[in-house]
Amino acid sequence: MENSTLFKQLSSRLDKLANLPKLDDEKSISKLIEEKGFSRRDFMGWAGAMTSMLMLPASFTPLVAKAAEVADRLPLVWLHMAECTGCSESLLRSATPTIDSLIFDYISLEYHETIMAASGWQAEHNLEHAMEKYKGKYILMVEGGIPHGESDFYLTVGAHGKTGEKHAIEASENAAAIFAIGTCSSFGGVQAAAPNPTNATALSNVTNKPVINVPGCPPSESNIVGTLLHFILYGTLPALDVYNRPKWAYGLRIHDNCERRGRFDAGEFVQQFGDAGAKDAYCLYKVGCKGPYTFNNCARQKFNQGTSWPVQSGHGCMGCSEPDFWDKMGIVHEPLGNRLYHTAFGGLGSDATADKIGVGLITVTAVGIAAHAAISAIKNPKV
């Protein structure tokens, strides 16, 4: 689609959203920005970065800013299943508030167990009320793997003693869009790791509605907020890979954008943590980096307001945004080699690229790794 046509389409959607009643008249994004000590310039800088992350031209920046401004028109329900709450923490607990986390202060969060005051009957009533009042209009975000089974009652939640699975199914029924936040909700996560005593599974396995997966352990706040903004802008599903992850965030391997890639290509590997190569920022493949098998944008987006990311701080990627990474990515500090694997869902495994075209690519990588390992041993016998 032509950029100008897309611009008009997105503008018209945002105008329609802007005409919907505000869910809280007291709130405005400009007021919130000021209260938190940001300037309009900071906000527009953030909108520019988001525009580029969503793979839109820079001229779309005002639209992304407007999408953030109308974010309060869409009510959001956030459910917790079996998890550590790390995904919520990723968004809410940054040392200094970011504009990403500020967006979550601004949106109309109708239900979120970690931060709401209500509990027991009142909490359950609030959830039922929100689902009824905003039927067909609310965005559903679910965090955590979902224990399920005919006769099992793991994760019994709330005053009515419903299972988490039932809550998730009911909330999915009338949601305008459904996002599985984090690897547990996207793929089962650590809860589903062998022997999986609670029969935990992905949200997409318990609902027949389309689910967009935003995996990561945890996903970065930018990926969570970017997913929300994308829906506000387009009102439709983004382009997805074979694991239903948005391609704008998960379309490339960690390895493709890694700052140590030159070291990998030169056959310069850390052999053990603390060695001379580690001090010189050599490639971490041989000490277990799963970057060649993992699709995510951590190398570009980073964490903690863009300060750093695991490889930059000297530890390899653990493959946290891939299905079954707890079981299938092997021992954390050992290289995976060129072992192909399959997922519990019968998929292609992460050795396929996001859009099924890159099995050859990873094979080349595997061959490359073998070749580089040999070169490395010759070039740097003690490193």
According to DSSP, the β-strands at 146-147 and 200-201 are: antiparallel
Helix 3-19 to helix 221-234 angle (10° resolution) is 90
Min CB(298)–ligand SF4 separation in Å? 3
Q: Are 281 and 291 in contact (CB under 8 A)?
A: no
Query: Which lies closer to ligand SF4 via its Cβ, residue 138 or residue 269?
Result: 269
Min CB(356)–ligand SF4 separation in Å? 20
Q: Are 49 and 300 in contact (CB under 8 A)?
A: no
Residue written as tokens 């990561």?
A: 216
By the rule CB under 6 A, 264 interacts with ligand SF4: yes
DSSP3 helix / strand / coil % (the chain, rounded to 5) = 45, 10, 45
Binding segment for ligand SF4 among 7-15, 53-61, 163-171, 319-327 (CB under 6 A)? 319-327
Nearest CA to 192 out of 121, 144, 254 is that of: 144
By the rule CB under 6 A, 255 interacts with ligand SF4: yes
Site for ligand SF4 in 265-294 (CB under 6 A): 283-285, 289, 291-292, 294
By the rule CB under 6 A, 198 interacts with ligand SF4: no
Of 82, 130, 139, 311, the residue at the interface with ligand SF4 (CB under 6 A) is 311
By the rule CB under 6 A, 329 interacts with ligand SF4: no
Min CB(287)–ligand SF4 separation in Å? 9
Site for ligand SF4 in 199-238 (CB under 6 A): 216
CA atoms within 13 A on the CB side of 196: 20
Of 258, 354, 362, 366, the residue at the interface with ligand SF4 (CB under 6 A) is 258
Nearest CA to 376 out of 290, 295, 275, 292 is that of: 275
CA atoms within 13 A on the CB side of 35: 9
Tokens of 142: 């679910």
Of 86, 144, 189, 310, the residue at the interface with ligand SF4 (CB under 6 A) is 310
Query: Which lies closer to ligand SF4 via its Cβ, residue 157 or residue 298?
Result: 298
Please give the residue ranges that form the binding site for ligand SF4 (CB under 6 A): 216, 254-255, 258, 260-261, 264, 283-285, 289, 291-292, 294, 296, 298, 309-311, 316-321
